[in-house]
Amino acid sequence: MSTVVSASEDLQDAAELVRYGCRPRLRPLADARYRDLLQRYRMEKAFRDQVEAIAQGLGVEVIAAHLQEGLVLHPQDGGLFTYRLKDDLRRSAEDRVVLGLVHVAIAARVYPTEHDLEDESVKRVGVCEVDGFLRHLVEQLREASKGEDGLPVPAAAVDAVWRLYARRPGGRPTAGGRSVTHRSTQSVIREVLEWLVHQGMAMPAPEFGAGHYRLLHRFRLQVSEAAALPAFETLRAIRRAQTAAATADTEEV
């Protein structure tokens, strides 16, 4: 009987740790129970196997057990916790496309190379910086769409995305002059960054000025899971070229 009880308690503990992992803003250092279960996951293979089996059954994958950020889960395709922009029927198709582009652009800007993805240091990003990068992307694709000088003509879907972004205002103030309009690109970028904060993947960094955020280890791990996506690779390549050009200009000066 005691063996059965022990096995049942182990399964309950494993499920409890997965439940903690589903609360990404909660940190182990703030919860002793969470901290103990996480340490057990890191030290006991049998318990680790139970946690991962429960996670698998729920349609998520354990991608890290971080001492500071806790159990990091990644939703599997088609799983219960999969978040897809197209499922958000409150937004127009155009809004969802622009939101998706901003998500990819933030990741590409801060992780342009494989070395950057392996670097565990916290990255900082600002709303205006991301908007500037996307405006640079728009200009690159605008030139490519002309099909001159050997530049490839973008596919129709890619062409549509940058045009949707380009026709929105950058950060036009409202009538009161205190904030940007809802449809402005900077408003969309801020919304995405605030969503990352809610998901425990970022935190505001007002000490660097308004609109600045820190991207946490949890965000880097999630980006690593999607690093092979074609759109991400395209934006990373543009970011690398932009960085190389800026470095060359600095050396000339």
Residues 221-247, mean pLDDT to the nearest whole number: 78
The CA–CA distances, whole Å, from 216 to 44, 110, 125, 145 equal 27, 11, 11, 36
Q: Encoding tokens for residue 238?
A: 């543009």
- 150 confidence band (pLDDT: 50, 70, 90): low
Q: Are 213 and 205 in contact (CB under 8 A)?
A: yes
Residue 145: predicted pLDDT: 63
Residue 159: predicted pLDDT: 60
Distance CA 81, CA 141 (A): 34
Question: Is residue 130's pLDDT more than 80?
Answer: yes
The CA–CA distances, whole Å, from 30 to 2, 196, 201 equal 32, 20, 17
- 4 confidence band (pLDDT: 50, 70, 90): very low
Distance of CA 78 to the CA centre of its chain: 19
Provide the sign of the torsion angle of the four alpha carbons 37, 42, 44, 45, taken in this order: positive
Q: Which of 69-78, 91-100, 190-199, 241-250 has the lowest mean pLDDT?
A: 241-250
Residue 177: predicted pLDDT: 44
pLDDT digits (tens, 9 = 90+) for 81-127: 555 555 555 677 788 888 888 998 999 999 988 888 888 888 999 99
Residue 5: predicted pLDDT: 46
Question: Is residue 146's pLDDT more than 80?
Answer: no
pLDDT digits (tens, 9 = 90+) for 15-65: 999 999 999 899 999 999 999 999 999 999 999 999 999 999 988 899 999
The whole model's pTM is what?
0.77
Q: What is the mean pLDDT of the chain?
A: 81
Angle at 186 between CA 185 and CA 188, to 5 degrees: 65
Question: Is residue 134's pLDDT more than 60?
Answer: yes
